[in-house]
Amino acid sequence: MVTSVSILGATGSIGTSTLALVREGGFRVVALTANSDAKKLAALAKEFDAEIAAVSDEGAYAELKSLLSGTRTKAAGGASGTIEAASARSDILLSAIVGAAGLAPTVAGFAPGRKIALANKECLLTAGSLFMREAQKAGATVLPVDSEHNAVFQALACGKRDAVKRVTLTASGGPFRTLSRERLALVTPEEAVRHPNWSMGAKISIDSATLMNKGLELIEAHYLFDLSSDQLETLVHPQSVVHALVEFHDGSVVAQMAHPDMRIPIGFCLAWPERLEWQAPRLDLAKVGSLHFEAPDHERFPALFLARAALDAGGSAPNVLNAANEVAIDAFRARRLSFPGIPALTGAVLEKAEKEGLYREVSTVNDALGVDHVARSLAATLLPQFAAKAS
Ligand code: NDP
Ligand code: MG
């Protein structure tokens, strides 16, 4: 049976890896979206004979429409076009837009029996409880694409939920794992986007370098698996071979291992509950030789502390954390903020947001996006103080 799939963020790193698996056969593409890269999106829509292709950026719509004229693919544009693409009927919705922009289209894509393969962790950061509740209400199944969460999902299958004691997410430690504080202050955006093990988009690569990615993933795990903060731990593991470990009450620890390649967790989600048969890169442990583990250094990588504090504060604190971090990363990439300035600015925004009563439960997607908006404004207001320190 051919499985139909739609991809939000088809032109990105996860989108590209997903389409590489789709090329292996057994899938039919229904909808593809991008932000503004009309050329790449149109080429993909033609190659996969998609029913609908959408660019979120209104300005790119005319180009997409003209590139797709004469084909059977419908061109769509703007927020409503992306929602239309997300809502088009297919078995699987792969959610891989980067940032909070992924929330509304992913929620719009919930449908009975539909598999939501979730790469966009910001859906959970901006509206975790609401997102999981709405998915359940709609009868959709959320499957984690993020490699650590995919690993937890697989390991959890080895025991009953009430037998789970602890879950550990591993972190590669990023490209600056061994750098001194002094050297960290001089890190450039070009250095930060070069991840030692994974090939990923720029934003998540920088998050891996600050270890904020692992902090965001703690929060992601909390919402995905309903685990409390004290059940969640992180462990630095530079080889990125063991992706997560689940410890049960009887002392057994179940870990999932795989070669660090996002096509493996993506393929898991596409085929679930079956297993995909493809030429997956083999994990050759003899070649890896040894596996190393160490506790994360919170002094040099304070982002982990901030994320833990946001997780413990609950409500919309993770949303504020995520928004402030996105603003800080944009400023870092524009050379307006130093590398240590990213967690410094994010921490200051969290503090201010708490004082201003911004931490509250949200009940709608628009409500969540409202908090995101206010947190970004707060970050923009505070940025000059930190930017000054960067120069
Ligand atoms: P990329 O930056 O490579 O790709 C982002 C995709 O989203 C592109 O298709 C881009 O379109 C589109 N996009 C960007 N901004 C918007 C917007 N405002 N509205 C609509 N579409 C937009 O990101 P990644 O593939 O690396 O990451 C995607 C998501 O998956 C992120 O949430 C990330 O945290 C998560 N993830 C990624 C992993 C990885 O290995 N890359 C691992 C685990 C999770 P365009 O090309 O037109 O700009
Ligand atoms: Mg991950």
Residue 195: predicted pLDDT? 79
In a domain, 289, yes or no: yes
Q: Which ligand is nearest to the CA of 102?
A: 1
Structure tokens at 381: 């207001």
Distance of alpha carbon 244 from alpha carbon 235, whole angstroms: 9
Place 389 in a pLDDT band, splitting at 50, 70 and 90: low
Structural domain range at position 126: 3-144
The CATH number linked to 34 is: 3.40.50.720
Place 145 in a pLDDT band, splitting at 50, 70 and 90: very high
Structure tokens at 2: 């051919």
In a domain, 217, yes or no: yes
In a domain, 98, yes or no: yes
Average pLDDT, the chain: 96
**Same structural domain for residues 112 and 140?**
yes
How many angstroms is it from 95 CA to the middle of ligand 1? 9
Rounded to 10°, the helix 263-271/147-156 angle is: 50
**Same structural domain for residues 266 and 276?**
yes
Place 391 in a pLDDT band, splitting at 50, 70 and 90: very low
Q: Which ligand is nearest to the CA of 147?
A: 2
Strand partners of residue 7: 32, 94
Residue 390 in this model has a pLDDT that exceeds 60: no
How many angstroms is it from 158 CA to the middle of ligand 1? 32
Amino acid occupying residue 256 = Q
Q: Which of 28-42, 195-209, 309-323 shows the lowest mean pLDDT across its residues?
A: 195-209
Strand partners of residue 61: none
Closest atom of ligand 1 to 9 CA is: 9
**Same structural domain for residues 120 and 228?**
no
Return the SS3 of 243.
Answer: strand
- H/E segment holding residue 144: strand 141-144
The model carries a pTM of 0.96
How many angstroms is it from 208 CA to the middle of ligand 2? 9
Residue 349 in this model has a pLDDT that exceeds 70: yes
Give residue-wise pLDDT tens across range 207-232.
999 999 999 999 999 999 999 999 99
**Same structural domain for residues 157 and 280?**
yes
Ligand 1 atom 32 nearest Cα: 120
Distance of alpha carbon 234 from alpha carbon 262, whole angstroms: 20
How many angstroms is it from 167 CA to the middle of ligand 2? 14
Distance of alpha carbon 17 from alpha carbon 266, whole angstroms: 8
Distance of alpha carbon 44 from alpha carbon 168, whole angstroms: 37
Closest atom of ligand 1 to 40 CA is: 46
> 240, 268, 296: which is the final residue of a domain?
296
**Same structural domain for residues 40 and 150?**
no
Residue 354 in this model has a pLDDT that exceeds 80: yes
Q: Are 131 and 123 in contact (CB under 8 A)?
A: yes
DSSP, residue by residue, 73-112 = PEEEEHHHHHHHHHHS--SEEEE---SGGGHHHHHHT--T
Structure tokens at 156: 């959890």
**Same structural domain for residues 8 and 80?**
yes
**Same structural domain for residues 165 and 270?**
yes
Closest atom of ligand 1 to 15 CA is: 25
Pocket test for ligand 1, best of 204, 373, 376 (most atoms within 8 A of CB): 204
In eight-state DSSP terms, residue 195 is -
Q: Ligand 1: list residues with CB < 6 Å.
A: 9-15, 34-37, 56, 96-99, 101, 119-122, 146, 198, 200-201, 204, 262
Distances (CA, A) of 128 to 223, 228, 319, 389: 6, 14, 9, 34
In a domain, 51, yes or no: yes
Distance of alpha carbon 320 from alpha carbon 349, whole angstroms: 8
Q: Is the backbone of residue 279 left (phi > 0), alpha (psi -120 to 50) or beta?
A: beta
Pocket test for ligand 1, best of 97, 240, 268 (most atoms within 8 A of CB): 97
**Same structural domain for residues 131 and 233?**
no
Closest atom of ligand 1 to 202 CA is: 2
**Same structural domain for residues 225 and 136?**
no
Provide CB contacts within 8 A for 353, sequence distance 6+.
317, 320, 324, 359, 374, 375, 378
Place 335 in a pLDDT band, splitting at 50, 70 and 90: very high
> 236, 264, 296: which is the final residue of a domain?
296
281: buried, middle or exposed (CB in 10 Å: 19+, 13-18, 0-12)? Answer: exposed
Distances (CA, A) of 47 to 57, 60, 85, 210, 342: 22, 20, 17, 37, 40
**Alpha-carbon torsion, ordered 378, 381, 383, 389, to 10 deg:** -130
Closest atom of ligand 1 to 99 CA is: 32
Structure tokens at 391: 């120069």
Pocket test for ligand 1, best of 36, 64, 83, 98 (most atoms within 8 A of CB): 98
**Same structural domain for residues 64 and 77?**
yes
**Same structural domain for residues 151 and 223?**
yes
Residue 63 in this model has a pLDDT that exceeds 60: yes
Other Cβ atoms within 10 Å of 91 Cβ, number: 18
> 272, 296, 320: which is the final residue of a domain?
296
Q: Which of 5, 52, 17 is nearest to 33 (CA)?
A: 52
Q: Which of 368, 54, 339, 21 is nearest to 184 (CA)?
A: 339
Surrounding residues of ion ligand 2, Cβ less than 5 A = 146-148
Which residue in this structure is represented by tokens 């083999």?
282
Structure tokens at 204: 């998540």
Size of the chain, expressed as the number of residues it contains: 391
Residue 264: predicted pLDDT? 98
Place 324 in a pLDDT band, splitting at 50, 70 and 90: very high
In a domain, 312, yes or no: no
- 314-331 mean pLDDT: 96
**Same structural domain for residues 134 and 263?**
no
Q: Which ligand is nearest to the CA of 106?
A: 1
Closest atom of ligand 1 to 97 CA is: 7
In a domain, 379, yes or no: no
Alpha-helical (H) ranges within the chain are 13-22, 38-48, 61-67, 78-87, 103-108, 122-138, 147-156, 181-184, 189-192, 202-210, 212-225, 263-271, 285-288, 303-313, 317-333, 341-355, 365-390
Q: How many domains does the chain have?
A: 2
In a domain, 301, yes or no: no
Distances (CA, A) of 263 to 34, 259, 288: 19, 10, 20
